[in-house]
Structure 1
Amino acid sequence: MTSQVEHTDVGAYALGILGEPDRTAFSDHLATCPSCTAELRELSGVADALAGIGPLRDNDGADADAGTGTGGRGPAEVVSLLRRRKAADRRARRGTFVIGAAAAVTLVAGGIAVGTSISGESGSVPVGHSAHGPAEDAYRAGTPLAGTGASGVTGGLVLETKGWGTHAVLELRGVKGPLECELIAVSPTGERRVVTGWAVPERGYGVPGSPEPLYVHGGVAWEPAGIDRFEVRTTGGDTLLTVTV
């Protein structure tokens, strides 16, 4: 990637696979690529989610790094496997990178499958880095609840009931940075839970010169019936948007 930054390396960057100077080059790329920035936020919790789960199995069903005498494998082993898969895939198919173990890395004990496949075939569009990212796709597929914003700020939320609580997808326009923000769920009794957080670069989102809105998503353990409203707040305490449920 040293000669050309690849959008598909966002997964490798998130898991710490990239070395220098590739990591430095991709860090610079993130400053000008909202799509990669959004995808990086969505992948940022993967390593934490993998911590403490059981044996890692390769596609052929064998334990990864079998024979080492170790027990359950965590994020470090996942990174190691992905690094080997990445190197092999690049040797076999120049210009095409499949992260998440080209044929899916299955974490058997935890029941979690990491199978993000990104294709660079001519005429095809990379998954998660095309016209829409996953968060935007979810927002477009739902029925948004319009929010009430501060001066110039607009946006809305799409809510989805899950067995574990509520999945919330946010569209936000009219904000300029630099800012650090959080989407917060507020119960009828005033209890507050952070759903997700992000940074707004100086150029902003949904403003002149940077017209694309921001799409982010996250989850809260409460069902929609137990939520009074959602708030988009800066870490400085300013409320940018309020969405009543």
Structure 2
Amino acid sequence: MRSLERHRDVGAYALGVLDEAEAFRFEDHLMECPSCAVQVTEFGPATRQLMLYRSATPRPVHPMAQPSPRMLDRLLTQVAGRRRAGRRRLLLALAASVVIAVSAPAALVLARGGDGPRPLTVEATDERSGVWAEVTVEDRDWGSAVELRVKDAAGPRACVLVGVARDGSEDVMTSWAVPRHDARPNTIPGGSALHSDDTVRYEVRTTEGETLVTLRPE
């Protein structure tokens, strides 16, 4: 395939729709084309959103299915009810804060302890590969938001961050292309259907399956 056609495969490669042979040939092209490497990284957010949509959509449901009017009515009713409940909780919280501020200022410190859990941050350096990585994970209702910082001077190469669950299943959280001989830290956003409590380790791998660094939460 000609070089121009290879450039056109960037989107298909980033979305994972190329067959194994075409993906292998595109990765060879990727090693010699900084422009495509940058575009693969730019496709990362769109790829992750599609991945999250796929994981949140039941398999029997057609991807382009539309809700019925009755379902929309029920959803709107539920949203309105939650908003009313939220306003009531806010008023109760404000009233309670006034009472606490007047009667026991020290209790305010205890009240602040009710905030959600702090983001999980774990880092590691692999002595063999020389790759350093830091993963910050913040749980969400749908899974977890992920931010990866990585230093890898052995590029160019395409990499992925994989979360390994307690049951042994794996989830690709983000992907990117390492620039040629660039040891500066790169920050890549990502997402996963896994929560931090469900994940026993995070692995930075090449797309060929080589593990570059493993990060284990304490």
TM-score range for the pair, normalised by the shorter chain length: 0.3 to 0.5
- Scaled by the length of structure 2, the TM-score of the pair is 0.46
User: TM-score w.r.t. structure 1 length?
Assistant: 0.42
Structure with greater Cα Rg: 2
Task: Identify which of structures 1 and 2 has the higher relative contact order when contacts are C-alpha pairs closer than 8 Å and 6+ apart.
Answer: 2
- Tell me which protein shows more helix as a share of its residues: 2
